[in-house]
Structure 1
Amino acid sequence: MKFLPIFLDTSRGPILLVGAGDPVRARLRLLLAAEARVRWHATDGDFAVPGLDAAAASRIEREESDARNADLGGIVAVFCAGAGAIGESVAARALTAGVPVNVMDDPARSSFIVPAIVDRGDVVAAIGTGGASPVVARRVRERIEAVLPARIGDLAAMIGRWRKTIHDHIPDLPLRRRFWERVIDGPIGEAVLAGRADEAEGSLKSIADPSAYAGASVPGDVEGCVTLVGAGPGDPDLLTVKALRALQDADIVFYDELITPEILDRARRDAVRVPVGRRVGKPGIGQDAINRLLIDAARSGRRAVRLKGGDPFIFGRGGEEAEALREAGVRCSVIPGITAGLGAAAESGVPLTYRHEALRVTFLTAHKAHDASNVDWSTLTDRKMTVVVYMGITAAPAIRSGLLAAGRSPETPVGVFARATRPDAKTVVGILDHLPALVRDVEGGPAILVIGDVVSHSARWRNTNSFLQTLQMAAE
């Protein structure tokens, strides 16, 4: 660690700011966000800052004198940005006087650096790279922004309001720590993060014996829950923010066979991981057994995540699991995911609907040939309807036969999208008449079939047909 992270108390005195242009205004906004009083020497004489509210503007002292002669007495820190040689001179004086100084993009003249910041009110995270790469720090900040709840600062503020009261009731430090862990990790904390602050305050106020509440460490005394989480089509960067938070909070994760290791790596490191999925043609533990595992985990006081590929409520049996949990009296919530059909279409540039061309889209599943035989294909022959088939590799010949027999044109464009959004993704396009052969070309699933004219809008279709046309012209 090259630099020691600290948090500067801006209430101790004014901040001296020297510089001009966009760089100094960016620093000014940062300082005002920290409620600092700023003594600003605009080296170009331009003090305009659009968009400031009256309260923030009132904390700016505009100095037109030479910054090189600025009084450093009582100054908490000096910031120079876009100040050129004037900034270098001011920085040298500040270093000699022992005043903390930062010169933007110049670590050699600075006694501290400004980190990338995640601001959630009372919760602030700072990320630094020792000045080596601010861009890397910003990328790390983006990751933290994605998993840190928007209202985590509200939760910290509520705890701050109750801290002394609970301290008076629970003088023992370990027991007091356990109390706050139960508040943060349980329904009270969940209510704050969901925007139900009044409900959370009421629940906290209703705890008659904080010591007893903190001491309820026996499994079963703590309320567990199950969250059905959609993991998306495979790319971990397509996880939703809520999904990431649930994985980070989970005590145990029950996951399907198709969940990638990269997605599992986003779960809390010490969370128990239990595989419960199965592949087509291979045995699994069965849905009833999965339901029992989820119920038992919640009743033991654990926060369980049921991690499912795509979206839990689109061919994922999430509805069955949610119903079983409700009947068992287990608290349950659902976090939607990007379903595989949407992921495949977006990755390949296939608009599932298109004005004047594809006005409807139908999602269906066809595990096996007998699944396909149960589909009323006559409802899917409209040229202006896009058909998206999940788990259709095995049933591809039956799907082709059903659609052709019902009247869909054999020249209808189709796309087979295997392992969509993953590094080993493969896309093959062609026509409905050739569907079984196209499926063989992708070399295994999972795969999504998209049937309809919209496939012709994909780059793969254009490239493939351009290549075929070239071959045909050469033959002629």
Structure 2
Amino acid sequence: MQYFPIFIDTTSLTCLIVGAGSVAARKLELVLKTEAQIIVVAEHIDSAVATLAQSSQVTIHQRKFKDSDLANIGMVFVCTADAVLNQHISVQAKQQNILVNVVDKTQLCQFITPSIIDRSPITIALSSGGAAPVLLRHLRQKLESIIPQGISKLGAFAQASRDTVKRALSSVTARRNFWEGIFEGDVAELVEKNQHDKAQALFDKTLAATVSGEKHVGEVYLVGAGPGDADLLTFRALRLMQKADVVIYDRLVSPQILELVRRDAEKLYVGKAKSLHTVPQNEINTLIVEKAKQGQRVVRLKGGDPFIFGRGGEEIASLVDAGIGFQVVPGITAANGASSYAGIPLTHRDHAQSVVFATGHLKDDTVDLNWSALAHANQTIVFYMGLTGLSIICQKLIAHGLSKDTHIALIENATMPEQRVVAGTLNNIESLAQNADIQPPALIIVGSVVSLHSSLNWYNSQKTKIEP
């Protein structure tokens, strides 16, 4: 390891920047994030440097560099185009034990600046020693995508609570185990969501329970898994899935998404197939409550979005009644996922100025909907769970004013590699669906926008069947 990574306390540091061009501006912007006092020396001052120098941390000397500028300096960045001057400053700084960085000249540097992910007080620095800057940038982008923005709040919370925990728990091991539970659990989620009072109350309760050996009640996360494609999960959904003790999931959660759940989590299937309810809803509600009361982190993983035909409202009502904390993580609903992957915009200025989501779920062999409100030519209708009632849906829409030639599409296994789209009209879609043997899960889209499918379809087009 050629470069030893360290973090320098900047509270009493004075940093010199020689040069005031665009490169110097980038260094100045970086150092301004610290508590250091900054001196800039240059004959010509770039406008970007002048703007940044309005900070009280910065003093500018518009003149040539002098050796005396290194007096009482702890760190220097050399950002000039004068190679002779750059080498001279490097030699002088090293002789005086001043940390020196000459931009783009690693052989003249005593230190190099890493790529930084700033979530102060949490700071992550990465370096390739100049060997692979593009790879370094690639790694930083990956880390940026998985480290929550709210981690800074969690770092500050931990800093403020550190002495309290140290007084309460004398064992290093006990403190480590306690903090691991905090960072992986509900307190961290509350802090990151700015619910500080709730976080503090739960933290105090958890610490007291740890000291006394009691077990606290867990929390439930109602998580939307999206339409099927694992790439469409939100970062928050993925993070909670990988922290869960128990995952209760339904039939519309794809195997690819289940693969992302924490390996040692308990996985409980409560799915519902067409005309077959594996577990009644009231039993699902009871199961969620029971697992949370055992002190476990419970993820209720639902296909699509929990609040759009997902019975999420019913489930959290039971949690409210039981006094159990919960959070809701939205997901990409099936309508958005299916329409996007089928190349069918739900709204379009030339076709539809409104969109309606409706359930096509049969009850007593009927689809009880406000058909007169649905049957409008300039409106898109999306039916969830409507495959069984397809015949009734087509009949009712025609009876209430839609033309039998109105475009309609069935989308099976939306967003997945096996996605199929069958498009036709209200008059012929039943026979097309039968010939194609369309099976649930399938979404129905009705309206003029479906006519755009043939030209806008970008995904899996070889499995599309269309009849004008």
Q: Is the 1:389–1:449 contact (alpha carbons within 8 Å) kept by the matching residues of 2?
A: yes
Q: Does 1:172 align with 2:171?
A: yes
Spell out the pairing of 1:56-455 with structure 2 (5 A cutoff): 57-66=55-64, 75-80=73-78, 83=81, 85=83, 89=87, 93=91, 97=95, 100-102=99-101, 112-128=111-127, 131=130, 133-181=132-180, 184=183, 188-198=187-197, 200-201=199-200, 212-218=208-214, 221-268=215-262, 270-280=264-274, 284-355=278-349, 357-366=351-360, 373-375=367-369, 377-436=371-430, 439=433, 441=436, 444=439, 446-455=441-450
Residue 306 (structure 1) shift:
0.7
Instruction: Check whether the contact 2:186–2:219 (CA below 8 A) recurs between aligned residues.
Output: no
Aligned length: 456
> Structure 1 CA distance, aligned partners of 2:311 and 2:351?
32
Distance 1:253 1:22, change over 3 A: farther
Deviations 1:347-370 (A, max 9, x none): 445342345853432212335697
Distance 2:437 2:43 in 1: 63
Q: For 1:187 and 1:129, how far apart are their aligned partners in 2? A: 36
Summarize deviations over 1:60-116 as a string: whole Å, max 9, x none.
Answer: 233445559585565544445574746863685389657555555666665655444
Residues 291, 298 of structure 2: 8 Å contact kept: yes
Cα-to-partner distance string for 1:117-153 (whole Å, 9 max, x where unaligned) = 3322212233445545545544544454444444432
Are the counterparts in 1 of residues 248 and 268 from structure 2 also a CA contact under 8 Å? yes
Q: Please, which runs of 5 or more residues in structure 1 have no aligned partner?
A: 464-476
SS of aligned partner of 2:248: strand
Which whole-Å CA distance do the structure 2 matches of 1:408 and 1:12 have between them? 76
Query: How high is the sequence identity, in percent, across the aligned residues?
Result: 38
Q: Mark the CA change 1:22 to 1:341 in structure 2 (over 3 Å): closer, same or farther.
A: farther
8 Å CA contact 2:24–2:49 kept in 1: the answer is: no
Give the SS at the match of 2:305.
coil
Q: 1:188 to 1:89 in 2, by over 3 A?
A: same
TM-score, normalised with respect to structure 1: 0.78
Instruction: Report what 1:472 is aligned to.
Output: none
Q: CA deviation at 1:233?
A: 1.7
Query: What secondary structure sits across from 2:155 in the alignment?
Result: helix
Change over 3 Å in CA distance of 1:190–1:413 after alignment to 2: same
SS in 2 for 1:433: coil
Q: Find the aligned partners of 1:177 and 1:73 in 2 and give their Cα distance.
A: 44
CA–CA separation in structure 2 for the residues paired with 1:365 and 1:94: 76
Aligned to 1:30: 30
Q: Cα deviation per residue 1:160-186 (whole Å; 9 max; x = unaligned)? A: 234334434433323333454555556
What amino acid does structure 2 have at the position aligned with 1:251? D
Aligned equivalents of 2:245 and 2:56: distance in 1? 48
Taking only aligned residues, the RMSD between alpha carbons, in angstroms, comes to 4.0
Aligned to 1:9: 9
Residue 14 to residue 235, structure 1, CA distance change in 2 (3 Å) = farther
Specify the SS of the correspondent of 1:30: helix
For residues 347 and 279 of structure 2, the distance between their equivalents in structure 1, rounded to whole angstroms, comes to 38
Q: Does the 8 Å CA contact 1:18/1:87 hold for their aligned counterparts?
A: no
User: What TM-score do you get using the length of structure 2 for normalisation?
Assistant: 0.80
Measure, in 2, the Cα distance between the counterparts of 1:8 and 1:150. Answer: 23
